[in-house]
């Protein structure tokens, strides 16, 4: 069984960083232009909060005025973070605990990148995360917890036909079985050749 993928292997090393004194409207335009859902609010190199699309909408609904608004008026002052050496299941659990769609990757207190739900889903290894308890019957044939007996003649069973190597290519978005890590991204055979 394969080890779970580390956060370092799939993290996006580029993120939108803003200051708490930046203009809210300009920051919103930046998020739209960069097609990002979240901006990391930094004081120097220290992450002090985040500004999400939801934060912006909430501020607009409650305050309604954007002309003099700054990022600090609308930001959330908590930042879910994790080490780059953590495994994807840990990152997924951290997102769930914070009800977030992303997590900040920090090393020695400095931001290194982000991991999103999409990053985790595109590299999910269903077989390595499943907790399939196999039972052995009297003849030594394994039975998966679904009750389906494994075949002894070499035919593929549901457990053997796993999605262990499937995922989405980081470059072209193709769903494929042959992904390989290259320069921090998981790429299909076609994108590795380019």
Give tens-digit pLDDT for 147-162.
Answer: 333 444 444 433 333 3
Q: Say how many Å lie between the first and final Cα of the chain, rounded.
A: 31
More confident residue, 87 or 64: 87
Residues 119 and 73: their CA atoms lie apart, in Å, by 30
| Res. 127 pLDDT band, cuts 50 70 90 | very low
The domain defined by 7-125 folds into CBS-domain (3.10.580)
Please determine, for residue 40, whether its predicted confidence score (pLDDT) is greater than 60: yes
Q: Which residue has the higher pLDDT, 140 or 73?
A: 73
Alpha-carbon distance of 119 to 134, in angstroms, equals 30
Tens of pLDDT, residue by residue over 157-191, are 333 333 445 678 788 877 777 777 777 777 787 78
Residue 72, pLDDT score: 92
Q: Please tell me the predicted confidence (pLDDT) of residue 156.
A: 40
The Cα–Cα gap between 120 and 118 comes to 5
Q: What are phi and psi of 81, to 5 degrees?
A: -140, 165
List b or e across 172-192, with b for residues whose CB sees 16 or more CB atoms inside 10 angstroms.
eeeebeebeeeeebbbbeebe
Among residues of the chain, what percentage have pLDDT more than 70? Answer: 74
Q: Where are the domains of the chain?
A: 7-125, 131-162, 164-194
Q: What is the pLDDT of residue 21?
A: 93
């Amino acid at each position: 069984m394969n080890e779970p993928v580390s956060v370092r292997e799939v993290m996006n090393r580029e993120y939108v960083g803003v200051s708490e004194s930046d203009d809210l409207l300009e920051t919103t335009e930046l998020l739209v232009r960069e097609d990002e859902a979240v901006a990391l609010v930094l004081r120097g190199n220290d992450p002090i909060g985040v500004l999400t699309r939801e934060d912006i909408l909430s501020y607009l609904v409650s305050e309604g005025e954007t002309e003099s608004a700054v990022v600090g008026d609308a930001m959330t002052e908590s930042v879910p973070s994790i080490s780059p050496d953590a495994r994807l299941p840990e990152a997924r659990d951290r997102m769930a605990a914070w009800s977030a769609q992303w997590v900040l990757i920090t090393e020695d207190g400095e931001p290194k990148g982000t991991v999103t739900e999409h990053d985790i889903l595109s590299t999910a290894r269903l077989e390595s995360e499943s907790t399939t308890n196999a039972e052995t019957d009297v003849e030594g044939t394994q039975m998966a917890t679904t009750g389906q007996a494994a075949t002894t003649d070499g035919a593929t069973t549901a457990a053997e036909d796993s999605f262990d190597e499937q995922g989405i290519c980081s470059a072209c978005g193709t769903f494929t079985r042959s992904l390989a890590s290259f320069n921090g991204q998981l790429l299909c055979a076609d994108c590795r050749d380019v």
